[in-house]
Amino acid sequence: MIINYLSACLKVNLFIKKVENLRSKLLKLRIFKKILIFIFLIAVILFCFLKFKLWKNKNNLLKNLITDFNAESIIEIGKNKYECEIYHTSQHNTKIKMNSPVDFEGLIISSENKKQRINFENLNCEFEKNIFTENSSPNLIFKILDSLNDISDFSQNTLENDNIVVLGKIDNIKFEVICDQNGIIKEIFIPEKNIKIQTFCVPLDLNSTS
């Protein structure tokens, strides 16, 4: 009888210990879960903060995009390469002066307030309407340069190798603009038309130009 009683007490004690161990494990598990949730929330907050800071920095950089410049440029259209000077201001004034190949040397095409001009040797013509087809290379270049004045036109921008890569669209034609962190344009690329413009820009001080 006593043996049975002692055996029952021992079983009860073992059961109580198992329950206490289980409660201890559950308590530790709950604490561990709370710690995990806390760490997760901190990680989410930090991630959102860093993303916002990066977005803010990139948009600040875009606001400093230099659109008043004079640039020694190389325009590649397919396999053809042209050396030229590109002058552009934020007042929608663009001038392209060809330096090579020899047959185009001295040719100047310009666009100012929707008026287009051609100057070549003794030829000097001004047109009220576009003289180039809608999606021709000169027209696209004029439109893209003018669009740089409004950063809201850009759908996306990323930082790559200390450069800002801006993605935009003109007349359903996508383009990319690469500039450094000072806002100086280094390259314009129109994949659909296989047009690449490499620029070596010198910012203009319009207050000092006549």
Predicted confidence (pLDDT) per residue in 135-168, tens digit:
788 888 888 888 877 765 666 666 677 788 888 8
Q: How far apart are CA 133 and CA 142, in angstroms?
A: 12
- Beta-carbon neighbour count of residue 17 at 10 Å? 10
- DSSP notation for 142-174: HHHHHHTT-GGGEEEEEEETTEEEEEEEETTEE
The answer to whether the CB of 157 falls within 8 A of the CB of 62 is yes
The pLDDT value recorded for residue 210 is 39
The pLDDT value recorded for residue 195 is 92
- Beta-carbon neighbour count of residue 75 at 10 Å? 21
Q: How far apart are CA 102 and CA 58, in angstroms?
A: 41
Torsion of CA 151, 152, 154, 157, to 10 degrees: 70
- Cα of 115 vs its chain's centroid, Å: 30
The pLDDT value recorded for residue 11 is 57
Q: How far apart are CA 4 and CA 37, in angstroms?
A: 49
Res 206 pLDDT > 70: no
> pLDDT category, 43, cuts 50, 70, 90?
confident
Q: How far apart are CA 43 and CA 24, in angstroms?
A: 28
CA angle 184/187/191 to nearest 5° reads 145
What does pTM read for this prediction?
0.64
Q: How far apart are CA 91 and CA 134, in angstroms?
A: 21
Q: How far apart are CA 148 and CA 166, in angstroms?
A: 10
Span 99-126, average pLDDT: 85
Most confident of 66-70, 158-162, 168-172, 193-197: 193-197
The pLDDT value recorded for residue 49 is 65
The pLDDT value recorded for residue 208 is 47
Contacts with 195 (C-beta within 8 Å, 6 or more apart), sequence order: 75, 76, 77, 137, 140, 141, 188, 189
Instruction: Round the average pLDDT of the chain to a whole number and report it.
Output: 77
Span 105-118, average pLDDT: 86
**Which residue would you say has higher pLDDT here, 56 or 78?**
78
Q: How far apart are CA 202 and CA 210, in angstroms?
A: 17
> pLDDT category, 95, cuts 50, 70, 90?
very high
Res 203 pLDDT > 90: no
The pLDDT value recorded for residue 62 is 63
**Which residue would you say has higher pLDDT here, 197 or 63?**
197
Res 186 pLDDT > 50: yes
For the chain, the straight-line distance linking the first and the last C-alpha, in angstroms and rounded, comes to 118
